[in-house]
């Protein structure tokens, strides 16, 4: 039984020898480009030869170290080409390209994906996309004002509402956050928010797991809290009013002393 042949990798390019040998020709082109950019080739703008990089069978890029301000670690890349054996070697392009140790900018990321939680400031606007998976259409607007009022009262007055994905993401984020059951405050609390009188449950599908704290003494006041979160300001906490140190039933009051004279060997002593 024979196995089907695997697809072999593409063969590396095999440029002509005159392209690989055109080092000085490429260096001259790099120097001319350096002069056009305002650099002084005599001052080392075009430095040591850094090797060749075949592009295809008809072109080769020659690399030279670039010693120019603002481009530390960069290289001159001069691409030379020839249309055939009977054609001369010509310069295709000359560019500055970053070398292995060059300082380059990070990969570009669209602005709407660079914004992180907490970045939005006063006056900033952050529109959501129409395809945001966290949102789904609410209801179609009506031209009847009475219907509009009822719809808003019933919570249907918004164009879009949170989808199941959006609600699950929010629930996961809130539960793992500062006011979730695994926070330091919650783990040291005597009771949970679910039994607290200051706990205001949210509406909708998140009702069973989240609410808002309404106790101004609590560090979570005004924040969404998990039902298993808790703090020391729980409404039903009671503190025992008894003394913290046990007191004996028999109490001696030594603030009043009885003085009595006593004769011992001719000397009078006063004893208690």
pLDDT at position 20: 87
pLDDT at position 7: 45
Residue 69 within a domain: yes
> Which of 30-34, 142-146, 211-215 is predicted least confidently?
142-146
Residue 40 within a domain: yes
Query: Last residue of a domain, which of 98, 122, 149?
Result: 98
Q: How far apart are CA 109 and CA 69, in angstroms?
A: 27
Query: Last residue of a domain, which of 98, 121, 136?
Result: 98
pLDDT at position 223: 94
Q: How far apart are CA 236 and CA 110, in angstroms?
A: 50
Residue 146 within a domain: no
Task: Give the model's confidence band at 213: pLDDT under 50 very low, under 70 low, under 90 confident, else very high.
Answer: very high
Residue 111 within a domain: no
pLDDT at position 1: 43
Q: Average pLDDT in the 211-231 region?
A: 93
Residue 190 within a domain: yes
**Residue 65 pLDDT exceeds 50:** yes
Q: Average pLDDT in the 216-226 region?
A: 92
> Which of 15-24, 45-54, 179-188, 251-260 is predicted least confidently?
251-260
Residue 212 within a domain: yes
Q: How far apart are CA 180 and CA 170, in angstroms?
A: 12
pTM of the model: 0.47
Query: Last residue of a domain, which of 98, 122, 140?
Result: 98
Determine the longest span between alpha carbons in the chain, in angstroms.
146
Residue 2 within a domain: no
Q: Average pLDDT in the 202-225 region?
A: 91
CATH number at residue 49: 3.10.450
Residue 200 within a domain: yes
Question: What total of structural domains would you count in the chain?
Answer: 2
pLDDT at position 178: 93
- The domain of 199 spans 174-226
Residue 65 phi/psi, 5° resolution? Answer: -60, 140
pLDDT at position 68: 85
pLDDT at position 2: 46
């Amino acid at each position: 039984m024979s196995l089907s042949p695997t697809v072999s990798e593409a063969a590396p390019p095999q440029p002509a020898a005159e392209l690989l040998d055109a080092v000085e020709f490429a260096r001259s082109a790099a120097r001319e480009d350096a002069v056009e950019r305002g650099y002084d080739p005599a001052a080392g703008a075009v430095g040591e030869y850094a090797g060749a990089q075949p592009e295809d069978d008809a072109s080769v890029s020659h690399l030279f170290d670039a010693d120019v301000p603002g481009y530390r670690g960069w290289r001159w890349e001069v691409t030379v080409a020839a249309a055939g054996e009977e054609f001369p070697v010509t310069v295709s392009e000359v560019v500055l390209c970053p070398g292995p140790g060059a300082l380059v900018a990070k990969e570009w990321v669209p602005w709407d994906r660079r914004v992180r939680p907490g970045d939005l400031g006063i006056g900033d606007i952050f529109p959501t996309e129409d395809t945001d998976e966290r949102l789904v259409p609410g209801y179609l607007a009506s031209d009847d004002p009475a219907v509009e009022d009822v719809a808003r009262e019933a919570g249907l007055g918004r164009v879009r509402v949170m989808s199941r994905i959006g609600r699950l993401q929010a629930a996961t984020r809130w539960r793992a956050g500062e006011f979730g059951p695994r926070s330091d405050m919650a783990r040291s609390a005597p009771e949970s928010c679910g039994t607290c009188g200051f706990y205001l449950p949210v509406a909708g599908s998140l009702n069973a797991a989240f609410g808002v704290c309404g106790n101004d003494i609590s560090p979570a006041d005004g924040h969404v809290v998990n039902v298993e979160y808790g703090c020391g300001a729980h409404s039903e906490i009671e503190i025992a009013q008894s003394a913290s140190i046990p007191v004996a039933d028999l109490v001696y009051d030594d603030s009043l002393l009885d003085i009595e004279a006593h004769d011992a060997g001719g000397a009078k002593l006063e004893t208690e």
